Chain A
Amino acid sequence: MEQAPPDLERQWQPAPLEPLGHPDAELQAAVDEEAEVSRDEGPGDGTMTENNFGLKKIEISVSEAEKRTGRNAMNMQETYTAYLIETRSVEHTDGQSVLTDSLWRRYSEFELLRNYLLVYYPHIVVPPLPEKRAEFVWHKLSADNMDPDFVERRRIGLENFLLRVASHPILCRDKIFYLFLTQEGNWKETVNETGFQLKADSRLKALNATFRVKNPDKRFTELKHYSDELQSVISHLLRVRARVADRLYGVYKVHGNYGRVFSEWSAIEKEMGDGLQSAGHHMDVYASSIDDILEDEEHYADQLKEYLFYAEALRAVCRKHELMQYDLEMAAQDLASKKQQCEELATGTVRTFSLKGMTTKLFGQETPEQREARIKVLEEQINEGEQQLKSKNLEGREFKFGPMLRNALARCNPVK
């Protein structure tokens, strides 16, 4: 493998995030961890990894959520939730943080940001967003996006997303990301102006399309396989967990029935009356305790979902690599055949069967001018092809850093 410039290599160590889900988690912690990691693994000082937006440490938090009503694209009234993003810069000297920016964003804008990042950084495993709709729901949990518990968990998920992007050495430098945090108005237009939607390769949308790659990179194949398996096992786990929660809910709630009957029974008893009444009361308390218990467990489920989506993102990177590899092979193949054609024309030898050869034999040879013209066209195409190949090779090199991401993922929080 070609020796990559030292800067690039060091930049490829994304920082693990600790602790997760903490509302005002400081970037400082993440940055420190990253600095530590880079010290262990590579040469160089810590200056490169500590920075964001030009030598300044920042804190990001999604601190509030608010219900809003507005008009959508079809001019129909809709209700949605907006989230307050606050950015603080931390002064080196006294450690105090100053609020530098604060604006409101809704989920769809987060989605837009992420889709943009996915297109512009195909070789990076872009951190996941919390789910768009509540899935793996057990029956009592409200599948309603307006449910306060759901909104709260989404708030945490959105914050984690921003913190992870901000702590990524490459993604954090993105201008659109910076504007997302700082420019409230017109941000959507700015993103769309980049034309990223056009850049997106539509072939990737066909999830099951296979690209026959002659020399697949084993590491990527393994990684893709792992991400498939991980997705499958986590989905299964979430489904079973939802059923378990449902059943557990049933057990607790039926105990609530004891409450009423013990109370009724206590009415006809003398000595036992108080005891039975108290027992009934405790049954009610028991029955109602399950709501909080299961709500807490949803946070665990959320973390599982995070990694489910992460696995998806990983798989996407592998697929993009596959596609890129495929294009590379196709381009190389095309180039080779054109070179051969060119050679044949130049030397006048026909090595392979071609229609032109046949027609020449049948109808006479073409004029030298015609031949020259054709050679010229081919040579141009060859040049183009070589350029393309070069750039694709460069892209490919970037992808080769993929496996390091797996290490980074494994270092992230273990399962609770």
Chain B
Amino acid sequence: MSGGPPRGLPSTGPHSLLDMPHPLAGSSSEEAVGGDSTPSPDLLMARSFGDKDLILPNGGTPAGTSSPASSSSLLNRLQLDDDIDGETRDLFVTVDDPKKHVCTMETYITYRITTKSTRVEFDLPEYSVRRRYQDFDWLRNKLEESQPTHLIPPLPEKFVVKGVVDRFSEEFVETRRKALDKFLKRITDHPVLSFNEHFNIFLTAKDLNAYKKQGMALLSRVGESVKHVTGGYKLRSRPLEFAAIGDYLDTFALKLGTIDRIAQRIIKEEIEYLVELREHGPVYSTWSALEGELAEPLEGVSACIGHCSTALEELTDDMTEDFLPVLREYILYSDSMKGVLKKRDQVQAEYEAKLEAVALRKEDRPKVPADVEKCQDRMECFNADLKADMERWQSSKRQDFRQLLMGMADKNIQYYEKCLMAWESIIPLLQEKPEAK
């Protein structure tokens, strides 16, 4: 991945989770590591985005990818906030402050989840809990169960190849944190999912494990019924629009996969280029030692190449940390979405089969039996939910990719600007002519 030795997080020491001070008891994060502590949403809204030269303070980038001074990224953030169907937000969730826990059985990371809301569903205006990846996984499963007609956002990958990636390295944890934050924000933005009871519990419960053990299944009516849909019905004809969505997702995932491969290849080539550059600079230093009048200019060239090397390293790090994860996220998203499409097909298939069965019975009564009606109901609900979610997904996809590609362009431009600056700064040195002896 990125160059340089991965830095591990400081550990809280070997004690069990139960001994940990309660997050709401006002524990300070003196052992916290992680530069990007996301500012509260209030702060985010209060900033003025009119001034393109606005320099944001360090660490003030909310799960962002672009540099502070980049005007394009500011515009993107502005759009993101505006694009909630004109409604004012009443729920804000952020993920930050990763901490390592070392216990006898295992070592793992928890993240702080901060929630601010004026909704009636929340007893308190503000919550702060700690959750680990397992908990997020649980949440996602519960959402899939309880809201099967909706598209549930993806989680970052569960398993990491041990030995290849250090799952406690700062870079890895930060990448994961950003993805988890994105996950929760997507749920927050969803008009149906954000009101889900499991989601509420996840954000507020002091002891999530206890809740999990109780196995409280609060399924919505539709969810309950869809759960019992038997498979095995063959679909006659898929409505055009859903077929189109399926095709789209197939191609989309394919193209993203290709882009991911290309991006990885580019990073690899850039790193190899970097290796050569790191050898290139010092040769000028060696030469400089042989010379008299030329010594200073040559040393200057060497330093200049050094600056370019550093700039390149920063570029490859940024691309690895910010660009690749988003591609992977959308590939996972597409996969899960195709799963939902399949479920929809199943629901339609069951309805059609039952309808056909009724038609075959050749009864004169035009009355449609209750269970067929229920199937039709289910199908129509599913179709409506899915269509609405797809539109929402398309819109946020556009935004995400716009930000992603512009971020990539920005990062590259910054790299070239840094190099340009380095070279321009030594031109006077090179043009300086020594006095005639």
Do A and B actually bind? yes
Residues of B contacting A250 in the complex (Cβ-Cβ under 8 angstroms): 269, 272-273
Q: Which residues of A contact B279 (CB under 8 A)?
A: 240, 243
Residues on the B chain within 8 Å of A248, using CB: 273
How far, in angstroms, from A140 to B354 measured CA to CA in the complex? Answer: 67
Q: Is the CB of A410 within 8 A of B266?
A: no
Shortest CB distance A21–B (Å):
17
Q: Is B436's CB under 8 angstroms from A40's CB?
A: yes
Query: Is A134 part of the binding interface, using a Cβ–Cβ cutoff of 8 Å?
Result: no
Is A351 part of the binding interface, using a Cβ–Cβ cutoff of 8 Å?
no
Contact of A279 with B248 in the complex, beta carbons under 8 Å: no
* 8 Å CB contact of B266 from A234, A240, A254, A275: A254
Q: Is A291 an interface residue (CB 8 A)?
A: no
Shortest beta-carbon distance, B314 to chain A, in Å? 15
Please give me the residue from chain A that is nearest to B401 by CB atom: A272
| A415 contacts chain B at the CB level, 8 A cutoff | yes
One of A87-95, A255-263, A369-377 contacting the partner: A255-263
Q: Does B420 reach chain A (CB closer than 8 Å)? A: no
The yes or no answer to B214 lying at the interface (CB within 8 A) is no
Residue total for B at the interface (Cβ-Cβ under 8 A)? 36
Instruction: Compute how far the CA of A394 lies from the CA of B204 in the bound complex, rounded to whole angstroms.
Output: 101
Closest to A253 in B: B269
Alpha-carbon distance A271/B270, docked complex (angstroms): 32
Instruction: Give me the interface of B with A, judged by CB distance under 8 Å.
Output: 248, 251-252, 255, 258-259, 262, 265-266, 269-270, 272-273, 275-277, 279-280, 283-284, 286-287, 290, 292-294, 297-298, 301, 398, 401-402, 405, 430, 436-437
Interface positions, chain A 210-246, Cβ under 8 Å from B, are 226, 229-230, 233-234, 236-237, 240-241, 243-244
What CA separation (Å) do A265 and B251 show in the bound complex? 8
B262 touches A261 (CB 8 A): yes
Q: Would you call A203 an interface residue if the criterion is a C-beta within 8 Å of the partner chain's C-beta atoms?
A: no
CB < 8 Å: which of A241, A279, A410 contacts B294?
A410
Given A247-B269, A415-B301, do A261 and B430 touch, yes or no (CB 8 Å)?
no
Structural contact, A230 and B290, CB atoms closer than 8 A: yes
Chain B nearest CB from A348 CB (Å) reads: 60
Residues of A within 8 A of B280 (CB): 237, 240-241, 244
Using Cβ atoms and an 8 Å threshold, which residues of chain A touch B272? 247, 250
* Cross-chain contact of B276 among A237, A247, A254, A272 (Cβ < 8 A): A247
A71 in the interface (beta carbon within 8 A): no
CA distance A244 to B284 in the complex (A): 14
- With A40-B436, A261-B258, A415-B298 known, 5 other A-B pairs at CB within 8 A are A236-B286, A244-B273, A244-B280, A414-B430, A415-B294
A284 to chain B, nearest CB (A): 13
Pick the most buried of A40, A240, A254, A414: most chain B CB atoms within 10 A of its CB: A414
B297 touches A251 (CB 8 A): no
Closest to A283 in B: B262
A233 touches B273 (CB 8 A): no
* Known contacts A230-B290, A254-B266; is-contact A247 B273 (Cβ 8 Å): yes
Which residues of A are found within 8 Å of B437, using beta-carbon distances? 407
**Which of B259, B276, B436 has the most chain A CB within a 10 Å cutoff?**
B276
A268 on the interface (CB 8 Å rule)?
yes
Instruction: State in angstroms the CA–CA spacing of A236 and B284 once bound together.
Output: 10
A contact face: mostly helix, strand, loop, or mixed: helix
The complex places the Cα of A264 from the Cα of B254 at a distance, in Å, of: 10
Check A251–B283 contact: CB distance below 8 A: no
The reply to whether A415 and B430 contact each other, CB–CB distance below 8 Å, is: yes
List of A residues within 8 angstroms of B284 by Cβ: 237
From A242, which residue of chain B is reached at the shortest CB distance?
B276
Q: A258-B259, A261-B255 are in contact. Are A237 and B273 (CB under 8 A)?
A: no
- Is there a chain B Cβ closer than 8 Å to A416's Cβ? yes
Q: Mark A170-197, 1 if CB is under 8 A from B, else 0.
A: 0000000000000000000000000000
The chain A residue with its CB closest to the CB of B301 is A415
Q: Give residues in A with beta carbon < 8 Å to B.
A: 37, 40, 226, 229-230, 233-234, 236-237, 240-241, 243-244, 247-248, 250-251, 254-255, 257-258, 261-262, 264-265, 268, 271-272, 275, 279, 407, 410, 414-416
Chain B residues with CB under 8 Å of A240's CB are: 276, 279-280, 283
A268 touching B430 by the CB < 8 A rule?
no
CB distance from A15 to the nearest CB of B (A): 14
A397→B390 CA distance, assembly (Å): 92
> Could you name 19 residue pairs across A and B whose Cβ atoms are closer than 8 Å?
A37-B436, A40-B436, A229-B290, A236-B283, A240-B276, A243-B279, A247-B272, A247-B275, A250-B269, A250-B272, A251-B273, A254-B269, A257-B265, A261-B255, A261-B259, A279-B405, A410-B292, A415-B294, A416-B430
Residues of A within 8 A of B269 (CB): 247, 250-251, 254
Query: Which residues of the other chain, A, contact B287 by a CB distance below 8 angstroms?
Result: 230, 233-234, 237
A414 touches B294 (CB 8 A): yes
In the bound assembly, the distance between CA atoms of A410 and B269 in angstroms comes to 38
- The smallest C-beta distance from B281 to any residue of chain A, in angstroms, reads 9
Q: Which residues of B contact A233 (CB under 8 A)?
A: 283, 286-287, 290
Specify which chain B residues have a CB less than 8 angstroms from the CB of A244 in the assembled complex.
273, 276-277, 280
Chain A residues near B405: list those with CB within 8 A: 279
Residue of B nearest to A230 (CB): B290
| CB-CB under 8 A for A237 and B283, given A250-B272, A250-B273, A415-B294 | yes
Chain A: minimal CB distance from B399 (Å):
10
* CB closest chain-B residue, reference A40: B436
Give the top 7 A-B pairs by smallest Cβ distance, nearest first: A247-B273, A265-B255, A233-B287, A244-B276, A250-B269, A251-B269, A261-B258
A264: B residues at CB distance < 8 A: 255
Q: Specify the chain B residue showing the minimal Cβ separation from A234.
A: B287
Contact B252 A268 (CB under 8 A): yes
Q: Give the docked Cα–Cα distance between A226 and B291 (Å).
A: 9
Give A262 to B298 CA distance when docked, in angstroms.
Answer: 43
Residues on B with beta carbons closer than 8 Å to the beta carbon of A226: 290
Measured CB to CB, the closest approach of chain B to A414, in angstroms, equals 6
Residue of B with least CB distance to A407: B437
Name the residue among A251, A254, A407 with the largest chain B CB count within 10 angstroms: A251
A414 B297 Cβ-Cβ under 8 A: yes
Q: Are A268 and B258 neighbours in the complex by a CB distance under 8 Å?
A: no
Please, which residues of chain A bring their CB within 8 A of the CB of B277? 244
A257 touches B273 (CB 8 A): no
Q: Is the CB of A255 within 8 A of B276?
A: no
Q: Output the nearest chain A residue to B282 by Cβ-Cβ distance.
A: A240
With both beta carbons as reference points, the residue of chain B lying nearest to A241 in the complex is identified as B280
Residues of B within 8 A of A279 (CB): 405
In the assembled complex, the Cα of A236 lies from the Cα of B436 at a distance in Å of 31
What is the bound-complex CA distance between A257 and B294, given in angstroms?
42
* Chain B nearest CB, measured from A306 CB (Å): 15
- Cα-based distance from A37 to B436 in the complex (angstroms): 9
